[in-house]
Structure 1
Amino acid sequence: MTRPANAPRTAGSARPLKAIYDVPAPAKLNLFLHITGRRADGYHLLQSVFMLIDWCDTLHFELRTDGQISRADLGGPDTGCGTAEALPAEDLAVRAARALQAACGTSLGVHIGLEKRIPSQAGMGGGSSDAASCLLALQRLWGVTLPAAELRALALSLGADVPFFLSGGHAWVEGIGEKITPIALPPARFVVVKPSAGLSTPAIFSAPELKRDTETATIQGFAANAKGQVFGFGRNDLQPVAQALCPPIGQSLDWLSAQHLQGRMTGSGSAVFALLPHDVDLPDVPGTPGDWKIRKCSNLQAHPLAGW
């Protein structure tokens, strides 16, 4: 017997749950970001290593039987990194829930509570990570499932970074973000600096002076770089344009340099980061503007929801 086209995509005998609490959504850092070309449709081709770090948003899910999808900004405890930012009415988490609901044909809904800690317009993938954690958690909450290939396609339709956060760990990323190869990285600590100013990703990618012809790199070259010092590989091709558009990025990099650290912008900014050697520590936020967010982070061995 065939399944009707509008029947829910159920996960075997799984039944809906009443709630799932404390679901993490970790941020990422781009160890490098090269633009290697541009497609005919305008999308840029990139190469990057995406690395998961322990700076996380937290999501809570409560079942709704009326089919509605709602979301509340829960703020969160004081982390020493500034207060939580106001969320848009239709953020990626809500869009992910609507897309999964439609794809699975379920009549169930959800109320999402979001403790937002990853800063927006930072290049750290916070919204994309929230969306990926929603896709994983809501399949459990609703007792539905999508085949892996369909889930990845749905994730890519939400944003180029979303599929990475479904992959389970650090990754070598190519194409427009859809070509993902898992890689291993050594444990390391970093300091991340986010100035108060944000940055528009479209403004960077539309800049005429953006470098779009970086030579293609290889995973083998990355792994062999500087006798294993993979955290110094390459550069961020977006950084020169971003610094011109947003001077606080340069100020953040200058502050890291004053701490004898080599900084680099992550993603499309405006956050910057630097490797923090294990035998070096920073004083508590020395000489920085009060509206900057500064945090010492470690990379993760795997995504907290790996295996979901």
Structure 2
Amino acid sequence: MSYTPLVDAEGFAAFPAPAKLNLFLHIVGRRADGYHLLESIFQLVDAHDTVWLRVRDDGQIVHHNPMPNVPAETDLTVRAAKLLQTATGVSYGVDIRVDKRLPMGGGMGGGSSDAATVLLALNRLWHVNWQRQALMDLGLQLGADVPFFIFGRNALVEGIGEIMTPIETEATDFVVLHPPVHVPTPAIFGDPELTRNTPSLKVSLLEGTADWRVLRNDLESVAVRKYPQIAQHIQWLSQYAPARMTGSGSCVFAAFVAKDVEKNTSQNQANAVIFGLPKEMSGFVTSSLQEHQLLGFASD
């Protein structure tokens, strides 16, 4: 896939930062250092933030619209640019703007994806031309999900999130609901009732003999107990299709597989669900991606 960015009148170029959904998420063990070992399918979807970048010659990194009450220097996009600048020794800088559309704290990887997009785009704009694995190693310093977005393919993810195997997924439309709660990830992983010994299904998933639709998110039972609004959203969405939480929450989703792409029936189904959404709930429809739009900005 080749991506050519739109450039606005001020010289900013637009780059997408797509979201992800955890189609399932199992905790299969725990390391001696306390980190949890997981198994999950990470699915890229076309819901996205837009990161606008404009190269500077003076080496300065400037964020033009940081989030309220978030110092620009702590923003993941600024940290990503500074990390790449330091690691490569380039003399360029960058102006940054972010159009934030993805739910914050929703388990869809928005902040991590923004950081990955900065690394991928600047790899091209700054003429760094690092290989993908080098960018992934750098991105890991910013967060556990950042390497996945640089990897740029739907994947079976293992370990603490660092082991990725490409996996084929069906064309699917998703209804995503965003309960109005912020779920602190450490509180979910630290709960004593969290299941930590789900048997591995790696072999059957890669062979295509296991169906993610009948699996679960091990974090969900803890999250719904702590945050009843998540349970309410799952219950409402389950009227139409099996629903579950993504990541550590709070977003929940249901899948509508595109069995008849020509007639677009799956998207029509998903849109009908959103049309009937109660006024006190918010949500949207998003479609699966087969690969990140900026996959070609780093070589394998």
TM over 0.5, yes or no?
yes
| Residue number in structure 1 paired with 2:177 | 193
Identical residues among aligned pairs (%): 48
Moved over 6 A (4+): none
* Runs of at least 5 residues in structure 2 that lack an aligned partner in the other structure: 1-9, 258-264
Deviation at 1:222? 5.7
| 2:233 paired residue number | 252
1:51-106 Cα distance to aligned partner (Å, 9 max, x none) = 000101111111222322121338xxxxxxxxxx7573322111111111110112
1:120 paired residue number: 104
Task: Find out whether 1:288 has 2:268 as its counterpart.
Answer: no
SS at match of 1:29: strand
1:15-68 deviation line (CA, Å, top 9, x unaligned): xxx955110010000010011111122211101000000101111111222322
Counterpart selection for 1:59 from 51, 62, 78: 51
1:303 aligned to 2:292?
yes
- Aligned equivalents of 1:86, 1:242: Cα separation in 2: 27
- Residue among 218, 221, 224 paired with 1:243: 224
Residue in structure 1 matched with residue 6 of structure 2 by the alignment? none
Q: Which residue of 1 aligns with 2:70?
A: 88
Q: Deviations over 1:254-275 (max 9, x none)?
A: 11023x3210000111000001
Match of 1:263 in 2: 243
- How many residues align? The count is 276
| Cα distance in 1, alignment partners of residues 30 and 224 from structure 2 | 22
* Cα deviations by residue, 1:175-220 (Å, 9 ceiling, x for unpaired): 1111011111111111011112121111111111111111111143
Instruction: Give distance in 2, aligned partners of 1:223 and 1:288.
Output: 40
CA contact (8 A) 1:27 1:124 kept: yes
SS in 2 for 1:27: strand
What residue is the counterpart of 2:5 in the other structure?
none
Name which of structure 1's ranges 64-73 and 179-188 shifts more when overlaid on structure 2: 64-73
Amino acid in structure 1 at the alignment position of 2:147: P
Contact 1:132–1:165 (8 Å) recurs in 2: yes
2:117 alignment partner AA: S
- C-alpha distance after superposition, 1:227-275 (max 9, x if no partner): xxx34042100001111121111011011023x3210000111000001
**Alignment gaps of 5+ in structure 1:** 1-17, 75-84
Structure 1 distance, partners of 2:191, 2:293, is 36
The match for 2:166 is: 182
Aligned partner of 2:229: which letter? P
Partner of 2:65: 73
Query: RMSD over aligned Cα, in angstroms?
Result: 2.0
- Cα pair 1:20 1:141 within 8 Å, conserved: no
Contact 2:60/2:94 (CA < 8 Å) preserved in 1?
yes
Report Cα offsets for 1:124-161 as digits up to 9, x if no partner: 01111111110011122222233443222111111111
Residues of 1 paired with 2:231 and 2:99: CA distance?
A: 29
Q: For 2:159, give the aligned amino acid.
A: G
Q: Is the 8 A contact 1:58 1:115 kept in 2?
A: yes
Cα distance in 1 for partners of 2:165, 2:179 equals: 31
Map of 2:23 onto structure 1? 31
Q: Which of 14, 18, 42 is the aligned partner of 1:50? A: 42
